[in-house]
Amino acid sequence: MLDDLKYIHQRDGQDALGIAEKQWQQLQINFDIPPLEGKFTNIVFAGMGGSALSALLSTTWPGHKLPFEVCRNYTIPLYVSANTLFIASSYSGNTEETLEAMGQAADQGAKIAVITSGGALAKHAEEKGYPLAQLPSGYQPRHAVLVSFKALLDILGAAGLVNRQQIDDTLQSSTQFLQNATAQWRPDVATKTNRAKDIARHLAGKSPVIYAGPLMFPAAYKWKISFNENAKNIAWCNQLPEFSHNEFIGWNSHPIDKPYGVVDLRSSFEHSRVQKRFEITERMLSGKRPHPIVVQAEGSTVLQHLLWLVALGDFVSIYLALINGINPTPVDLIEKFKTELNK
């Protein structure tokens, strides 16, 4: 099935696989953000779903020298003030939680910047004179994560919170790396040599459970979202070492033949004790849970590991959608939910 290009083109009518293959190009887009002046003491990023993923990626790379919080809610922290850099992100520009949060941030005097492709958020940015990173249109939010990530980096650079030259140099080398990596998972690469197709095949008919250490957890969360929205599969994720303190023992009962597919996203950049926890977990839970699919991140930097895992998860989830016999792009039930919410 996954090697049948005619079947793939029929099911993937909006070319989710093509977007996944070319996502490295999103890192090459530059946003002309004017200097953001202020004595910032913290950063708050407001966004929901795929629009919040770029913020999670930034906690691993480049990291933040100031306190950084991702707000997935209608309300914002009480500490938001004139010394806060507040970034409102909504791909559509119409996410009600983000719009309300931005209004509160304005009331509390925060310095606001916006990431969106249009909608009400772009209109507010233009009316209020907020710095605006205008994203290209035509994507699903989960398919525009890397361009949103680049927009966030450019905003942080404009605020003097990252070294722009170092960021650009690292991204340049990582972009070529990602281009080479995604070529290995194209639909015209046979399952026997295509890791993404092989993983999808092993996860068919199961509910994925994805584990990672703290550095790679943003990728694990992206896998979860991609399974939810691309494959229309329920999925969960968690991170070590927290897993070892509670969820670990939850696998100890009931038959081994549980309806789950366990995936471990591992990186040599994780803390040595986290890496040891993965090894001990696999040994001690052998016979008590499905044997995990171990995915060892590739690359020479922490950013390359992160990007490699994010991209692989996109391909796996799209191939799983095709196995499920569905178009990976539309999210009709979410759109119906929004309609019901607005009645």
Catalytic residues, which ones? 229, 245, 338
Residue 50 has φ and ψ, to the nearest 5°, of -65, -25
Name residue 315's beta-bridge partners: none
Place of tokens 């691993």: 60
Q: Which residues contact 67 (CB under 8 A, 6 or more apart)?
A: 41, 42, 43
Q: Whole-angstrom Cα distance, residue 59 to residue 67?
A: 10
Measure the CA angle with vertex 58, ends 52 and 59; round to 5°.
100
Closest CA to 81 of 123, 47, 38: 38
Place of tokens 């509910």: 207
Q: Which amino acid is at 196?
A: A
Q: Whole-angstrom Cα distance, residue 256 to residue 261?
A: 11
Place of tokens 């998972």: 185
Closest CA to 52 of 152, 177, 130, 126: 152
Q: Which two tokens stand for residue 106?
A: 């304005």
